[in-house]
């Protein structure tokens, strides 16, 4: 993997907005993820070289943030909230229905690479729980019977 000139220019511009290159690494990772859909080991190495920080620092940053994917993901990221409030309001049934509807377990991607299923600690919508998010669209107060119709819309 190599950065093209445009990507390098964007990463270098981002560096000017931060006190140090380590702080800019998250933006560099997001640029790569937008391009290839996830952040590979080669991408970690390239960010390290471009920003002059250690690979282990870049890896630590990449694995800390749950919006940075370290393995290929589906076209749509399906997140369900598993916080305490959503748990009380039935997120276990939502999880089970998602797993059976998609034919995958948490953390996996469907065979057609369409959906990846991930839990999320909190979406900040406790008053509307249980909550499901597909990419940036939020579905609130969902019940298991809503899930097939939601998935079909994708």
Residues belonging to the binding site for [2Fe-2S] cluster are 81, 86, 122, 126
CA 98, CA 83: separation in Å to the nearest integer? Answer: 17
| Rg value, the chain, Cα | 18
Residue 29 near residue 39, CB atoms below 8 Å:
yes
Question: Considering Cα of 140, then 145, then 147, then 152, what sign does the dihedral take?
Answer: negative
Question: Considering Cα of 29, then 32, then 38, then 40, what sign does the dihedral take?
Answer: negative
Binding site listing: 81, 86, 122, 126
């Amino acid at each position: 993997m190599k950065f093209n000139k445009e990507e390098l220019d964007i990463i270098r511009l981002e560096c000017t907005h931060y006190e140090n290159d380590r702080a800019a690494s998250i933006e560099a990772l997001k640029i790569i993820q937008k391009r290839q859909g996830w952040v590979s080991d080669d991408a970690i190495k390239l960010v390290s070289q471009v920003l002059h920080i250690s690979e282990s620092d870049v890896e630590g940053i990449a694995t800390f943030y749950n919006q940075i994917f370290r393995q290929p993901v589906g076209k749509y990221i399906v997140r369900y909230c598993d916080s305490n409030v959503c748990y009380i309001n039935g997120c276990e049934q939502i999880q089970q229905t998602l797993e059976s509807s998609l034919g995958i377990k948490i953390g996996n991607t469907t065979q057609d690479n369409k959906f990846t299923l991930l839990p999320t600690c909190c979406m900040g919508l406790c008053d509307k729980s249980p909550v499901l998010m597909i990419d940036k669209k939020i579905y609130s107060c969902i019940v298991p019977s809503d899930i097939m119709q939601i998935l079909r819309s994708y």
